[in-house]
Amino acid sequence: MRELIDINAVAVMVGGLHPRHVRQRLIKRPDFPRPFRIGAKISFDKSEVADWIEMQRQPIDGRITRNLRSNAS
């Protein structure tokens, strides 16, 4: 079963952004997980948002990072 979260929770997950920034900018990005609309409420799949955050990781010192999930098997 999917764990659905709202825009406020997404804003916290992506580093404490304002929910308005998520609504006006992030969900318009083609690579950001698509929201679900149930009635008037917008929800996101928490694991999809977490995966998107992981894909955005960039080293601050120029080193190449390894994907630890794919190497764990």
What's the mean pLDDT in 42-48? 96
Residue 27 placed within a domain: yes
Residue 28 placed within a domain: yes
Confidence of residue 73 (pLDDT cuts 50, 70, 90): very low
Residue 72 placed within a domain: no
pTM: 0.75
* pLDDT tens digit sequence for 14-43: 999 999 999 999 999 999 999 999 899 999
Residues 52 and 31 sit within 8 Å (Cβ to Cβ): yes
The rounded distance, in Å, linking the Cα atoms of 14 and 7 is 11
What is the rounded average pLDDT for all residues in the chain? Answer: 86
Q: What phi and psi, each to the nearest 5 degrees, are found at residue 34?
A: -75, 135
Residue 6: what pLDDT?
95
Residues 62 and 53 sit within 8 Å (Cβ to Cβ): no
Residues 67 and 30 sit within 8 Å (Cβ to Cβ): no
Residue 30 placed within a domain: yes
| Domain region containing 28 | 4-67
Looking at the structure of the chain, the number of domains it has is 1
Residues 49 and 56 sit within 8 Å (Cβ to Cβ): no
